[in-house]
Amino acid sequence: VRPLLLIDQLPFMSTAAERSLFANAITRHGLSGVCPLVAVFTNSTVYEGSMRHVLPSSLVSSALVREIKFQPVAPTLLEKGMKGVLTRYQGASGDARARAIVHSRDILRQVAEASGGDLRTAINTLELLFPALCQSSSGGSINAKDAKALAAKSGERAAKVAAAVTKPMSSLL
C-alpha cells in the first residue's frame, strides 16, 4: 500500500510570493517521487484558488501534473440539490425560514448560475448567504432585487473576512 497526499482545500494565497512558495513546494514534492499528491482545485478560471492561478503554466503542462475535469452540473439540478439541502435542514432544525428560501426561485437560480456548475460551491454560497437571507425574509418569497442586494452584501463581507485573514498570513513571509 502506497500513501497518497491529498490537499482538499488550498491555503489562501493572496500574494505572488505565497503562490510561488506553494508552487515550489509542489514541484519539489512531485520530483521527489515519495508519494503521489492530489490537489483539489476549483474549476473556475476567475477564482484566485484555481490551478491556473496558483501553479505556473510550466508545472501545469509538465508530466508531473494530470488534470482531471468534471462536467458542470446543470443549473436545474443545482437548484434541486440546494432545495434538498434546505428541506433537510428545515426538517431537522424546524427553521421555517429555510422553507421561504426553498420557494424563492430567484435566489436559487442566481446561486446556481453563479456556482459555475459546481454543487459544492452552490451549497457553500447558500450557507454563507443564509443568515442574510433569513434577515430579509418575512416568510414569503425573496425577489430578484433582494437577492442581488444580499449577494452584494455577502461580497462585501467576504472581502472584509479575506482582508482580515490575509493580514496574519502576510506576516509569516
Q: Residue 26: pLDDT above 80?
A: yes
pLDDT at 105 over 80: no
> How does residue 80 score in pLDDT terms, banded at 50, 70 and 90?
very high
Count the domains in the chain: 2
Same domain, 109 and 145: yes
| The pTM of the whole model exceeds 0.75 | no
Share of the chain above pLDDT 70, in %: 69
Q: What are phi and psi of 69, to 5 degrees?
A: -110, 140
Instruction: Give me the pLDDT at residue 125, please.
Output: 83
Average pLDDT over residues 66-89: 87
Does 156 or 141 have the greater pLDDT score?
Answer: 156
Same domain, yes or no: 23 and 79? no
| pLDDT(110) > 80 | yes
Judge whether 36 lies within some domain: yes
Which residue type does 38 have? V
Q: Is residue 160 part of a domain?
A: no
Kindly state whether residues 80 and 31 are assigned to the same domain: no
Q: Can you give the length of the chain in residues? A: 173
User: How confident is the model at residue 132, as a pLDDT?
Assistant: 61
The DSSP bridge partners found for residue 39 are: 7
Please say if the pLDDT value at position 126 is more than 90: no
By C-alpha distance, which of 105, 107, 100 is closest to 128?
107
Whether 33 is covered by a domain: the verdict is yes
Give the model confidence (pLDDT) of 150-169 as tens digits: 555 555 554 454 444 444 43
pLDDT band at 42 (very low <50, low <70, confident <90, very high): low
Element (H, E) at 38: strand 37-39
Q: Domain limits at 131?
A: 75-150
For the chain, how big is the Rg over CA atoms in Å?
A: 19
Q: Are 84 and 146 contained in the same domain?
A: yes
Asked whether residue 167 is assigned to any structural domain, the reply reads no
User: Residues 33-50: what's their mean pLDDT?
Assistant: 68
Q: Of 16-30, 45-59, 139-153, 159-173, which range is least confident?
A: 159-173
